[in-house]
Chains A and B, each alone.
Chain A
């Protein structure tokens, strides 16, 4: 069974940094393309970035709202995905989901971790 467990969320001040982790199991993590998707309170879903497998180059892509501030990385030896978030803004407040991608979309989702950016 595929399991994705996010951790690392919490309260951070504007301008601060936070690193989220996603522990993966139940599939071959090394071969997986992974994404982070967020959901602000009471709002819709927003993709915040993706990393391909190392076999496919280990490349990362980000949408404009987070490009230059967020960075995705992976440690295949630990089956773990990371999201480093810098220069956080109040509008980054959201539940952050780790997803395993397949067939051009997020097939499996974690339970999410809440990030609150507030002074």
Chain B
């Protein structure tokens, strides 16, 4: 069975602060994929990043960076110099390889509020 845990239910920061959203996953599959999605107040889930289990290279995209560590089963997401527009619910998700047919297992989400 797959499981994703986002222990932080809500985070509140002031603009320009850095913030890290934690994600811990469980799976018995050796091949799997990890995702982060953003859900702004408008409600639509927006794909941010995919990471394959066989690629532990960290990734940076502008103010966003992701730290994937298989040893601790974590896939954390850092926003540098946060902005009010970053306020949203962020979901970490796991998709197993093999015959899982691609369905995503989501964490409970972290509500991020960035105050001006």
Q: Do A and B bind each other?
A: no
Which residues of A come within 8 Å of B, CB atoms? none
